[in-house]
Amino acid sequence: MLRNTVKRHLKNFSRAKTGPGAVFWSKNGSGLRIKPMSMAQVATYSTKIPPRLTAESYPSVQRLTQFKKLSPEDMTFFQSILSGSEILQATADEDLALFNEDWMRKYKGQSKLVLRPKSVEQVSQILKYCNDQKLAVVPQGGNTGLVGGSVPVFDEIVLSLTQLNKIRDFDPVSGILKCDAGVILENADSYLAEHGYIFPMDLGAKGSCHVGGIVATNAGGLRLLRYGSLHGTVLGLEVVLPNGKVLNSMNALRKDNTGYDLKQMFIGSEGTIGVVTGVSILTPPRPKAVNVSFLGVGSYEGVQKVFVQAKQELSEILSAFEFMDLKSQKLAKQHLKDVAHPLEDEYPFYVLIETSGSNKEHDDAKLEAFLEKAMDDGTVLDGVVAQDETELRNLWEWRESIPESSQAGGGVYKYDVSLPLKDLYSLVEAANERLAEKGLLGDSDATKPVISAVGYGHVGDGNLHLNVAVREYSKEVEKALEPFVYEFVSSKNGSISAEHGLGFQKKNYIGYSKNEQEVAMIKQLKNLYDPNAILNPYKYV
Amino acid sequence: MSKALRILVPVKRVIDYAIKPRINKAGTGVEKTGVKFSMNPFDDIAVEEAVRIRESHKKLVENIHAVSIGPAKAQDILRTALAKGADTCTLIDAKEAELEPLAVAKLLKQVVTKQNANLVILGKQSIDDDCNNTGQMLAGMLNWPQATNAAKVEVDESSMTAKVTREIDGGEETVSAPLPLVITTDLRLNQPRYATLPNLMKAKKKPMEKLTLADFADVSTEPRLEVLKLEEPPTRSAGEKVATVDELIEKLKAVKAI
C-alpha cells in the first residue's frame, strides 16, 4: 500500500534527518545514541570540546575512599550470575561512552563496567553483592536525564535496566498496566494504544526513556496538566533495596489506605535509595479526538490571558498548554532549516494548545468557539489549527524540538523551574539581562560564548524551561547563571527543579527549595536504607 | 476564449495518513468507526497548487472550486480546502457508498461542465484504494490532455498552456499542453500550508453547494467490482541472532537463501 511511502513535508523531520551531526534516536533500548563520527562532524552538533571527565571539570568532587575498586574477584562473581550479553566491560577501544556520558554531553564518568540484568532476581543479587563489597552503583534507564543524575561520576558500576523490558500484565477493564522498569515509554504507549488506553505521561524523550526512569525521577512532561503527576498515577512499585531485599507493592489497588505509602518515597528519589524494577500504573482511556492549535501572542500577559480563557472555554478537554518565546522558535527554525514555520509572521510568544476528548464534533466546536473569541478580542494575533494527524505532529514538533535546537549550537545550560505564573517569564528576561551585562551574549557574534537564552514550558503547570544555548560549556557562563538562577527562583518562592530533578547539576542547591528539616529527613532515610551509600553517590544526597 | 482560469480541485476524505488502517471483523473492508479521517494528502497538495497558481497569476484565476464526493462528513475536508484557499465548494453526498474511479470520473465530468472549469488539479491517487485512475479517466471522458504525477507546474499566461514536470521511473519528464487540462499531483509538487485561524473563520462564510447522487441520475454509481475478502499481510516473524559467520551461512543454506 502506498500509504507507507507517502512522505509529507515534515514527517519525522527532525529525528529522522541524518545530516552530518544528526542526533540518532534509537528505539531498541540503548537510549539516545550519538553516532561516533569524525570529530569535526561531532563538533557541529554538540559541545565543541568532547565532554571532559566530570572529575576534571569539578575537581572539588573527590572519589570517596570508602568505596572499593573493582577487582577480578568481583568480575568472577558477576560472571557467575550474569551471561556474556549482560556484562559490558571497558576495553582499549570501547570506553562505554554510551553509559558514561549524559546526552547533553556535559558530564562524563569513568565506569569500566556495565551490568544489564534481565531479571529482578539478578538485580537483587547484584545490589546485595555491591552492598557487601562496598562497590558504588549508578542505576541507569534510558539515560535521557538532564541533570547528570544517571551517569557515573567516577568508577561506579552502571546498572542498566535496558534488558529488563517486558510488559507484565494489562487489565483492559481497570486500565492498570504492570511492566518492567526498562520498558521504553513509547513502546508502553504503543502497547496501550492497541487496547484503547494511553500512558498518562508523555515527553520529548519518549523514544528512549524508560518507564522505570521516569518514575525514579518523577518526570513531569507534556500531559501533567491533564493526567496529574506520577505520584497519583503510579499505583505500585517493585523496588530492589541496596541490601538486595525486594519491596513489592505491584498488586496495588486504586484505594489502599493502610499506613505509610512507601512507594512514594521512590518516586523522584533518583535512584538514591532503591532501584525501581517494576511499575504498576493506572492508565486512562486514549482520547478519540485530539486537536492541536499553534498561536501567536503579543506578550507574556497575553499568554496568561489565553491560558485563563482556554481553561474556561475548553475546560475538561484541554490537555496541554505550552508556551514558547520567539527566541526559542528562532533556534528551532535554524535547526529545522527547510521546514516552514506554522506562522508566517514573527510574534513575541507562541502558544500550543492541545485538546483531547471523546467526541470530535464536540471538541471542534469548543475549540473553534474559544479560538474565535480569543482572536476577536485581540489576545491571539494569529494561529493555525492542524487539519490532519501529520500537521498535528508537525505542530508538536515545533515545541518538542526546542531542547534539541538549543543544544545544536554547541551546548546548553538547562534550568527547569517552577514559578508563580505571573513571574514565570521574568526569569528569562533577568537571565538575558545578566548575560548581556556580563558581555557573554551574542546571537551572531561567534566570539561570545552564549548564543541565546530562551524560555518555554508548561504554563499549565507553572513550569518554565530556561535554556541557555552556548557555543561551548564554560565556567564563566556557569558562574553567571549559578547560583543567580536559583537565587532568583528562591526569591519568588519557586522550585529550582520542577521536573528534571537534582542529580549532579543541582546537588548543591537543594537548600533553595527544601528547608533544613526536609533535607535532614531525606538524609536520615538515605542512611537508613542505604547505610553504605552505594547507590548513585556524589549526587544530591 | 477569454483568459481566465477556473480551477476545479476534487478532494477525497480518507482515513488519516498517520493512522494504521485495520481490517474489520467481517473481513469485508477497513474498520471505519472511531478512526480519524482527513483529506487525502495528494489532494491537499492539489489544493495548495491551485492556491499557488493564483498567487503567482493574480488576475488570471477567476475561481478555485473544491468538490468532494463522499459521506456528509466530507464537509470537514471541504472546509479545510476553503480555509487553505479555495473559494467555493460542492459536496456530493454519496452516503456510505464506496464509489469506484469510473463513477467518480463521470460525476466529476458533470461538475467540470457545470463549473465551466478549464483546469482540474487532483491527487494522483487516494491513499485508501490507491487506484490512480480517476484523473486519467476524467481526462479521457472530457477529451482533454492530461499531465499525471506532477512534480512542478508552470502556467504560461500568454499562450494559456501549462508546462508540467512529471515524475517517471528513473527521472523526470517535462510535458506541455494547452488548457483545458487535467493535472494529477505527486508528492514533490509542494508543501501544503496550514489553515490559519482567520482563514478558518472566513471559510465558514464561504458557500458550500450540497448535492446528492440523486442529482446525477444519469450516472450509474453501481460498483462493477466485488470485494471478496480483505486480509492483513502476514506478520513478519522475529529475527534470529547468530554468533558467527559460519552459523549465518549454515542458516541461510538451510532456508535455501543461498
Query: DSSP code of A189?
Result: H
Closest CA to A171 of A222, A259, A220, A236: A236
Give the gap in angstroms from C-alpha A376 to the nearest C-alpha of chain B.
Answer: 10
How is A61-127 classified by DSSP, letter by letter? ----TTSPPP-HHHHHHHHHHS-GGGEEE-BTTB--HHHHB-TTS--B----EEE--SSHHHHHHHH
Q: Kindly report the CATH number assigned to the domain that includes residue B237.
A: 3.40.50.620
This model's pTM is above 0.95: no
- Cβ neighbours for B247, distance < 8 A, ≥ 6 positions apart: none
Distance (Å, whole) CA B39 – CA B48: 12
- Within 8 A of B193 by CB-CB distance, chain A residues are 340
A175 backbone φψ class: left, alpha, beta (φ>0; ψ -120 to 50): left
Of the CATH numbers 3.40.50.1100, 2.20.25.570, 3.40.50.300, 3.30.465.10, which one belongs to the domain with range A167-282?
Answer: 3.30.465.10
- Spell out where B141-220 has E strands: 146-156, 161-168, 171-178, 181-185, 195-196, 208-212
Would an 8 Å CB–CB cutoff place A295 in contact with chain B?
yes
Note whether B44 contacts A1, CB cutoff 8 Å: no
The runs of H, that is alpha helices, within A195-236 are 211-216, 224-227, 230-233
Is the dihedral angle over the CA atoms B66, B67, B68, B74 positive or is it negative? positive
Which cell goes with A453? 537564552
Domain covering A290-398, topology: Alpha-Beta Plaits (3.30.70)
What confidence tier does A45 reach under pLDDT thresholds 50, 70, 90? very low
Q: Which residues of B touch A (CB under 8 A)?
A: 16-19, 21, 34, 36, 38-39, 41-42, 44, 77, 80, 83-84, 125, 127, 130, 187, 191-198, 200-201
Q: Give the residue carrying C-alpha cell 547507590.
A: A535
Please give the C-alpha separations between residue B226 and each of A383, B125, B223, in angstroms, as whole numbers. 45, 20, 7
- Nearest CB to A389: which of B17, B80, B194? B17
Q: A288, A377, A388, A391: best mutation site toward chain B, by most B Cβ within 10 Å?
A: A388
Weakest-pLDDT range from A269-273, A294-298, A339-343, B12-16: A339-343
For the CA atoms of A400, A401, A405, A411, the dihedral, rounded to the nearest 10 degrees, stands at 50
- Nearest CB to A388: which of B38, B83, B197? B38
Note whether A384 contacts B187, CB cutoff 8 Å: no
> For position B146, what pLDDT does the model report?
97
Of the CATH numbers 3.40.50.2300, 1.10.150.110, 3.20.20.10, 3.30.43.10, which one belongs to the domain with range A13-160?
Answer: 3.30.43.10
Q: B37, B75, B194, B241: best mutation site toward chain A, by most A Cβ within 10 Å?
A: B194
The yes-or-no answer to whether A167-282 and A290-398 have a common fold is no
Closest CA to B166 of B176, B156, B152, B187: B152
- Nearest CB to A387: which of B19, B39, B187? B39
Reported ipTM: the value is: 0.82
- Within 8 A of A375 by CB-CB distance, chain B residues are 197-198, 201
pLDDT digits (tens, 9 = 90+) for A500-527: 889 998 888 888 888 999 999 999 999 9
Residue-range domain boundaries for chain A: 13-160, 167-282, 290-398, 409-496
Domain count along chain B: 1
Per-residue pLDDT 10s for chain B (258 aa) are: 468 999 999 999 999 999 888 888 888 889 888 889 999 999 999 999 999 999 999 899 999 999 999 999 999 999 999 999 999 999 999 998 889 999 999 999 999 999 999 999 999 999 998 999 999 999 999 999 999 999 999 999 999 999 999 988 889 999 999 999 999 999 999 999 999 999 999 999 999 999 999 999 999 999 999 888 888 888 888 888 888 999 999 999 998 888
Pairing of strands B181-185, B161-168: unpaired
- Nearest CB to B197: which of A360, A382, A391? A382
Let me know: does B3 contact B114? Beta carbons within 8 Å: no
- Nearest CB to B197: which of A9, A289, A375? A375
Which cell goes with B52? 499557488
- Within 8 A of A10 by CB-CB distance, chain B residues are 191
Give the gap in angstroms from C-alpha A355 to the nearest C-alpha of chain B.
Answer: 15
Distance (Å, whole) CA A342 – CA A214: 31
Note whether A375 contacts B17, CB cutoff 8 Å: no
Query: Domain residues for B238?
Result: 5-254
Biggest CA–CA distance in chain B, Å, is: 75
Would an 8 Å CB–CB cutoff place A1 in contact with chain B?
yes
pLDDT digits (tens, 9 = 90+) for A57-79: 888 899 999 999 999 999 999 99
A409-496 classified as CATH 3.30.70.2740: yes
Query: DSSP code of A341?
Result: P
Distance (Å, whole) CA A163 – CA A182: 6
